[in-house]
A and B are shown apart, each in its own frame.
Chain A
C-alpha cells in the first residue's frame, strides 16, 4: 500500500512516551468549540493583517525560546493586533487596550492594567539591553508570568477575531474599536459601550484556562 511520509513519520507511535499535550476527559467539548470558532472565523485570521502577529504568537512557544524573548514576541504580536493606529504612546495603549479586551467589568480594568504593565517594561528592557528591574514587580516566576501573558493575548486575539467577523474593517487603522478601547478605562459607561461593540454572534469559545488578574 502506498504511504506518504512526513518529517516525523513514526512519532505518532513513539512520542507518547513524553506527550506535550494531553486531552483529558471532559475537555472534548472545549476543543470542539475552539475548532468550530477557528473554522468559522477563518476569513478574518487568514488575512494579511494577522499573519505576522499569529507567527509571533506561534513562535513564542517555539522550542528553545526563553521567557524574555517570549515576552518580546507576545508584546510584538499585541502591538500589531491592537495598536495598528499608534506610533507613539505604545506602552500606555498596550496596557489599557489589552486590559479592556480581557476585563469582565470596569472594576477589573485597572487590576489587569497593573498586571500587564511589567510585560511591556520587561519587553523594552530586554530589547534595549537594560537590567530587568521589573522582575521585582512580579508575584510569580517570570517563566510563569510569560506563560500567563500568552494566555491573555490568546484570549484578546479571539475577541478581536470575533469582533472583526461582526465588523469587518476595510482600514484597520480607522477601526472605531480603537477609540472605544481608549475611552473604556475612564468610566463604567464607556467600558459598557465597548463591550456592546465587542459582543458578537461569533462567541469567543471558552479556554482550558481561567483568566484571573494576580496583582
Chain B
C-alpha cells in the first residue's frame, strides 16, 4: 500500500484522461489548484496524481512533506495512447514547455525556480509510465520547503501569459539562434551550482548580447551601460536608485574588465549586489528586445521604422537606437515603440 493512501485516502486522480505528461516546476508556488498560462496548464497535483506518475519512486522521507511542498506541475493531456516512438519527443516537448515557462517567470520577476529538465518529467499512458530525470530530481519537493520559491499570484497570471506566448512565437521563428543563446545565457545566470563570479561573468555576456558591439550603421553615440540604465529608467523607474546609478555610471566597466579578464580582486564592488542588479537589467532588456523583434516582424511597423530612420536596422539595433535617443533626452522613439498596437 502506498503511504499516500494512508495519509490522504480521499485523494483521487482528477485528470480527464489516462494519457498525460507531468513536468515538475521546482520552486513554483500558487494558491490556485490549476491555472492556464497561454494554454499551458499548471496543476497542484494531489498525492494520488503524483504517485500515478512516480510509480514506486516516492521517498518515505518526503511523503510527510509532500503537502507542505505542494509542488506545481505542468500538465499536458493526450487524446489517446502515446505510442512508444512518440514517448521521447513528448518528454522533449514537455521539457521545452517547461524551459519556456521558467524563462517567462524569470523575465517577469525574481525568485527561485528550476527548469523541469533539471528535475523530473513523467509520461503516463494507460499502463505505460516513462520519466526523464535531471540532476536535481527531488528539488521540486525540497525547494519550497527550503523557502526557495517563486510565488505566482492569481493577479499575475494575465501578465505572465503574454511573456510566455511571446517566447513561444519567437522560439518558432527562423533565424533566432542568437536570441535563443541570449535566453540560454540568461537562464544559465540563474542555474544552481555555479559561483557568483561566474554568474556575473555570464550576465556581462548577456549585457554584451543586448547592448554592445554595433556597426557604425546603427549610429550610436552613447555607451552600452548608459543604454542599459536607460532601459531600466524607461520601463521600471522605481528600480533606479543611487546604488544602481553608481553601479552603471561608474563601476560597471571596471567590474566587467576585472571579471572577464579574471582579476576579480580588482573589482572593488559587492559582487552579490552587482549580480542581482545586472539580473534585473538583463530581464528588462530582454523583454524590450522581444517587443522589438515582434515589431520588426510586423509589416504595419515598417512606416514607423522608416520615419525613425530604422529601416535597415535589425531588432537589436533598433532597441539600442531607441535607448541611445532616450539617453540623450529624446524619449519619443521609445514612446512610439511602446504605444504601437
Contact = CB atoms under 8 A, between A and B. Distances in A.
* Contact count band on A: 35 or more
Given A10-B57, A52-B198, A129-B314, A64 B133 contact: no
A64 B101 CA distance: 13
Contact of A68 (B135, B178, B197, B259): B178
Interface in A26-77: 48-49, 51-53, 55-56, 59, 62-66, 68-69, 72, 76
Chain B interface size, under 10 / 10 to 19 / 20 to 34 / 35 or more: 35 or more
Contact of A64 (B99, B179, B182, B261): B99
A5 B138 CA distance: 11
A128 B213 contact: yes
Contact of B118 (A5, A63, A126): A63
A5 B142 CA distance: 12
A68 B178 CA distance: 7
A127 B205 contact: yes
Given A11-B133, A72-B185, A72-B205, A63 B195 contact: no
Contacts of B259: 52
A132 interface: yes
A186 to B, nearest CB: 27
Interface string B158-200: 0000000000000000010111111011011001001101100
A132 B117 contact: no
Nearest to A68: B181
Contact of B133 (A14, A124, A127): A14
B315 to A, nearest CB: 8
Contact of B209 (A56, A63, A129): A129
A55 B208 contact: no
**A interface, by DSSP: helix, strand, loop or mixed?**
helix
Nearest to B214: A128
B201 A72 contact: no
Given A59-B194, A64-B117, A7 B178 contact: no
Contact of A69 (B117, B133, B181): B181
Contacts of A210: none
B243 to A, nearest CB: 25
Nearest to B57: A14
B47 interface: no
B136 interface: yes
A127 B115 CA distance: 24
Contacts of A8: 133, 135-138
Interface of A: 5, 7-11, 14-15, 18, 48-49, 51-53, 55-56, 59, 62-66, 68-69, 72, 76, 80, 84, 124-132
Given A51-B195, A59-B198, A64-B187, 8 more contacts: A7-B136, A14-B133, A55-B195, A59-B188, A63-B118, A128-B178, A129-B209, A132-B177
Interface of B: 57, 59, 61, 99, 115, 117-118, 132-139, 142, 175, 177-182, 184-185, 187-188, 191, 194-195, 197-198, 201-202, 205, 208-209, 212-214, 259, 261-262, 264, 314-316
